[in-house]
Amino acid sequence: MKRLGLVLGVVAVLAFVAAGSVFAADAGGKAPGGKGGKGGGMTMGEITKIVDKNITIKSSREGAPDVTGAVDDATEIFIEVPTKLGALKVGDRVRIQVGDKRAYGEITKIEGKAITVKGRSGDETITVDDSAVIMVMAKAEFKDLKVGQQVMASIREGKLARITVRAPEKK
């Protein structure tokens, strides 16, 4: 009986390890929201090279490798444009920062100075004040991308799904 329990325990551990290997392979060996590249994820950094329709991004995360993705007809390209609360409308894609609080995604509701944004983590409501940094995402084209720009990019299987040129930080 002890031997059967030992055998079943070993089989369970091997099955767990095998399942983990399958999930890691499906994710390209990277956790969700990782460094981009083959498996996908979000990358923030600077465009360092543009060759044909391939863009190389130097990650802003220390020690992270550069990633390269191809732009195709399905790639969504945006550029951040500074705006004010009064110009916002439901459906706008935005990046809002008030102090340490941030929201990034699509506006689903505006009530006075409270803006509800649907992001990757769900809905978040952020109340803006005079110190708020509000950026709306305007459609852009491949020709608008330049070496040296700071970007946020979603790369899946070597293709750029979405790239957003970040507005320069105020100094």
Give the pLDDT confidence of 15-45 residue by residue, as tens digits: 333 333 332 333 333 333 344 444 468 899 9
With respect to residue 107, please indicate whether it lies within any of the assigned structural domains.
Answer: yes
With respect to residue 100, please indicate whether it lies within any of the assigned structural domains.
Answer: yes
With respect to residue 103, please indicate whether it lies within any of the assigned structural domains.
Answer: yes
With respect to residue 106, please indicate whether it lies within any of the assigned structural domains.
Answer: yes
Number of alpha carbons in the 13 Å side-chain half-sphere of residue 111? 4
Residue of 142 and 42 predicted with greater confidence: 142
pLDDT value for 156 = 87
Between CA 160 and CA 49 the distance in angstroms is 14
pLDDT value for 36 = 44
pLDDT value for 157 = 86
Residue of 121 and 11 predicted with greater confidence: 121
62-108: per-residue pLDDT in tens? 999 999 999 999 999 999 999 999 999 999 999 999 999 999 999 99
With respect to residue 32, please indicate whether it lies within any of the assigned structural domains.
Answer: no
With respect to residue 52, please indicate whether it lies within any of the assigned structural domains.
Answer: no
pLDDT value for 170 = 58
Which of 4-8, 62-66, 85-89, 121-125 is predicted least confidently?
4-8
What is the signed CA dihedral for 76, 78, 116, 82, rounded to 10 degrees? 180
pLDDT averaged over the chain? 80
| Domains in the chain, number | 1
Report the run of H or E that residue 44 belongs to, with start and end: strand 41-51
User: Which amino acid is it at 169?
Assistant: E
Share of the chain above pLDDT 70, in %: 75
Residues with Cβ within 8 Å of 6's Cβ and at least 6 positions away in sequence, in order, are: none
Share of the chain above pLDDT 90, in %: 67
Range of the domain at 108: 83-132
With respect to residue 66, please indicate whether it lies within any of the assigned structural domains.
Answer: no
Beta strands in 83-149 (DSSP E): 93-98, 101-111, 114-119, 122-127, 133-139
pLDDT value for 10 = 37
Cβ atoms of residues 51 and 168 within 8 Å: no
Between CA 29 and CA 34 the distance in angstroms is 10
* pLDDT above 60: residue 133: yes
With respect to residue 99, please indicate whether it lies within any of the assigned structural domains.
Answer: yes
